[in-house]
Amino acid sequence: MKSFSEIDTVSKRASRAAGFDWGIAEEVGKNIRMLEMLGLPGIKNLNYYYKVRVKRNFEILNLISEENKSSQLEFCPIIAGVSFLDQVRSLENLNEIRFQSIAYPILFLPFVSRASEVIGKKIHLKIDKREFLLNYGNSIYSNALKNEITTIGNDITIKFIKNVDSFEEKEWKELYKLSENTFVEENESLKESGAGAGLTDND
Amino acid sequence: MKINLRSPDIVMKLSKLGSFHQSKLSFLRSFLKEFKDWTFKRDLFELNEFGYGTAVYSFKKNNRVYSLICFANKLDENERSDRVIATKWDAAFTLHDGVPTKKDIERLKNEVPKQEIGRLSYKELTLSRANKSVRVFNHVVESLSEGKQPDISLLSSVGYLYRTTAVYGSGKFGLADRFRIKDREEICGPFRLEMMLVYLVRQFTFDQVNHVAKNQNPKKAISLDLEICRNLGIGNSTGLGMAPFIVNHPTLLNNWVLARETILKEIREIKEVKKVDSDFFKKCLKKSIKNITSWTTESEYQQKKIRSLLSDLNNFITFMEKDFNFDNEFAFNEIYKWIEKNSGDECIEYIVSMMMEPYDQIVNPLIKKMSSEEEKYFNIPTNRTVLELKDILENRYKNILKIDFSKSENNQNFWFISKNKEEPRLADRFDEKGSELEQPLAIARDIKKLYEVLSVVKNSLTIDKFLLKNNHLRHVVRRAFIVEKFPYSEIQDNTISKSVVPIDMLRLKLSFFGALKFDPRSDKWLRICMFQGAPLPEQLKSYDDSWVYNSLN
């Protein structure tokens, strides 16, 4: 089995050899490490993308907007990913961001996952029928975790999930009430002696 | 009195870093301190009469076991080489996590001797190989087999029976990634498992030499005297492979140097130095001198440094004995100011190391802060502005920005990875081919380039917009934001200049390892000795942290 350190180093060097700047190659190294750690096919997709890249051109997407349509070529997932990661702070107020045709979209995914960590919000990423919930760069939940190469994502949407509770206030109160059973009811004596400052904590 | 930390502009110069010495912070000393109450055992020792075979040693505490597995093989004279291009060694080692099964040992017997072309698993933590100092090893075998102890002067001049030629860890060749083990309390300091491997290898060398002597002459042979063993260490040949490490791990480098600088500051701030502490400082200093007088090297570069160190130290000791009173307030600050004025870097850094000796209470908490979670600082804060980035460069890279890279001597060399060994190398840009495949280790040049580009764009521009057109500088943008938080994370020198001395980079790292007797064999590789004078595993229960000054050599 390859160690994640080897995966990081080889992916970084291969990315440089494929023509990316060192700083971008460093990002790819970290990303492929993340994908493999989470059980997603990073090496497989990167290897195929770099093989195809020798024969075909891909469109560079530098500035991300609400709608990102490629002209004729598919978007390079790495440049699109770097741009998204760099610009995410100015994008997070948009309701939805759409991309048409990103090549090898699994390679785009870790950039979005890291962007979730940067802004401290969960992100919902949809690549055609596959859905991914990206949790602050820590984990990825998905309905599609197959170990396969995905050559294109035709319709990709990104939604920033507001930092709101996933439960009803009533449910919280019920659970909180139960948690109160670990507390001790204070009598007058405990009120005076239990806390450091007693009843005269005025300054 | 408030003392400032020394400026990174001074401390992080290569000539300064190349003058660092071992100290209480050193990894081999903190490793021994941590493992002194672990149970040491020789679990297996199946060597033939010539000393070839398999051995296993372990450290155990509660449910945790670390096992060194040794494979000693026959090696023809013409196959023995310390160079990284070697493919066979006298012995090869791996540190296994837990107790190895017979199946593990069989698997490792096939892989470990192959080193870089073998495959290890997540159950192995570190990997190494070593060659005999044939002259010393054979002399010891002959002497012991005839019932005599070996010639101490020969042993002292070399210092070891074996020298390692590489020690690998952290995921190389399939070894366990650091994240699997980083939360274990006993290995919270950097390189602790590498230190454990080397320490246990040292014991193997003594057992092997005794075993071979015994088999050579079973009736007459005696064992190597334990005091002689204690005064032998493990040698190490180190080349450029180590140099890029300190560039590629900026926050780790910061934490090492920051720990040292914080300790120095706190010691200088001590108002009244207790007599017991000043006496201990003086005692360690005086006893340490024999580590310098027995420091031999053929390198003129190093000989000059040793001569200057000895001369400065003698001056300092004279000053301390005749003109200095430890009853004065802030005595260590006075000492520091004196050496800074009157001594060279070798001596200044030597005394700084010595000052730490009495102060466990200052040093120990910082040992725990010497590791780093590098990943945390990887993302670039792209919402910051060009003005802020420019400020960082102007404050943190003052001297770097003065370098004129249009002059060929400032741009003379390039770092690359060799195809045959996947190891870092340095070559002349104007004489050799391959500079188009240069590694991103010319930080000074690229920082200067970044500064020039920043100077012609709007100050209010945010970094995400700046990077749209300047991703070729992304690697140094990332570094600049790291340096902002970690002032000692960057070498404040030009690592591609004509005058760069690469062994200064090795010396920095090796001093933190705790190596002694740096012996440069060229400007690109050197030999050192580790654990010379250290207690043997059976002696660890009565561990004395100042063992490094108690060697016979």
Q: Provide the terminal-to-terminal Cα distance of chain A, rounded to the nearest Å.
A: 63
Report percent pLDDT > 90 for chain B.
83
Q: Does residue A93 sit within a domain?
A: yes
Question: What is the phi/psi pair of residue B124, to 5°?
Answer: -100, 140
- Which of the residues B126, B180, B182, B467 would you substitute to probe the A interface, choosing the one with the greatest number of A C-beta atoms within 10 Å? B467
- Which of the residues A21, A65, A138 would you substitute to probe the B interface, choosing the one with the greatest number of B C-beta atoms within 10 Å? A21
Check: CB of residue B92 under 8 Å from CB of residue B129: yes
Of B175, B88, B84, the closest CA to residue A6 belongs to B175
Q: Does residue A191 sit within a domain?
A: no
Q: Does residue A173 sit within a domain?
A: no
Please state the pTM of the whole predicted model. 0.91
- Reported as a single tens digit per residue, the pLDDT across A76-128 is 999 999 999 999 999 999 989 999 999 999 999 999 999 999 999 999 999 99
Q: What is the mean pLDDT of chain A?
A: 91
Whether the pLDDT of residue A134 is over 60: the answer is yes
Q: Does residue A118 sit within a domain?
A: yes
Q: Which residues pair with B93 in a beta bridge?
A: B70, B128
pLDDT bracket for residue B52 (50, 70, 90): very high
- What is the total count of domains within chain A? 1
Q: Does residue A21 sit within a domain?
A: yes
Q: Does residue A188 sit within a domain?
A: no
The pLDDT score that the predictor gives to residue A202 is 53
Tokens 């001797």, located at residue: B113
Residue A131 lies in domain: 4-161
Kind of pairing between the strands at B526-530 and B233-238: antiparallel
The pLDDT score that the predictor gives to residue A164 is 87
Length of chain A (residues): 203
Burial track B96-109 (b if 16+ CB lie within 10 A, e otherwise): bbeebeeebbebbe
- The helix/strand/coil state of B153 is helix
* Cβ contacts of B383 on chain A, cutoff 8 Å: 89-90
Pick A23's closest partner by Cβ from B121, B417, B478.
B478
Check: CB of residue B158 under 8 Å from CB of residue B133: yes
Burial class of residue B36, CB neighbours in 10 A (0-12, 13-18, 19+): middle
| ipTM of this complex | 0.87
- Reported as a single tens digit per residue, the pLDDT across B159-208 is 999 999 889 998 999 999 998 998 899 998 889 999 999 999 999 999 99
The pLDDT score that the predictor gives to residue B552 is 60
Q: Does residue A169 sit within a domain?
A: no
Q: Name every residue whose Cβ is closer than 8 Å to that of residue A133 and which is 6 or more positions away in sequence.
A: A122, A123, A124, A125, A140, A141, A142
Which residue is closest to A23 within chain B, CA to CA? B475
Q: Does residue A130 sit within a domain?
A: yes
A63/B475 Cβ within 8 A: no
